[in-house]
Copies of this chain bind each other. A is one copy, B any other.
Amino acid sequence: MDIKRPSSGNPIQELLASRWSPYSFASRSVSEADLCSLFEAARWAPSSYNEQPWSFIVARKENERDFELLLSCLVEGNQVWAKAAPVLALGVVRLSFIRNGKPNRAAVHDLGLAAGNLVLEAVARGLFVHQMIGIEQDKARAIYGIPEDAEAWTGLAIGYLGSPEALPAPLRERDMTARQRKPLRDFVFSAKWGEPPPWLE
Known: A58-B188, A112-B113, A116-B113. A44 touches B181 (CB 8 A): yes
Q: A26 an interface residue at 8 Å Cβ cutoff?
A: no
Known: A44-B17, A154-B106. A55 touches B187 (CB 8 A): yes
| CB–CB A189/B55 < 8 A | yes
Q: A131 an interface residue at 8 Å Cβ cutoff?
A: yes
Among B13, B19, B116, B121, which residue has its beta carbon within 8 angstroms of that of A12?
B121
| Residues of B with C-beta under 8 A to A147 | 193
Copies of this chain present in the complex amount to 2
**Chain B residue with the shortest CB-CB distance to A182:** B52
Task: Give the bracket for the number of chain A residues in contact with chain B.
Answer: 35 or more
- Residues of A30-46 whose CB lies within 8 A of B: 32-33, 35-37, 39-41, 43-46
Complex CA–CA separation, A145 to B194 (angstroms): 9
| Residues of B with C-beta under 8 A to A144 | 189, 191-193
A→B interface (CB under 8 Å): 6, 9-13, 15-17, 19-21, 32-33, 35-37, 39-41, 43-46, 48, 50, 52, 54-60, 63, 65-66, 69, 105-106, 108-113, 115-117, 119-121, 124, 131, 133, 144-147, 153-154, 179-182, 184, 187-194, 197, 199-201
A-B contact pairs, 7 of them (CB 8 A): A12-B40, A39-B187, A46-B119, A52-B181, A60-B197, A106-B133, A109-B112
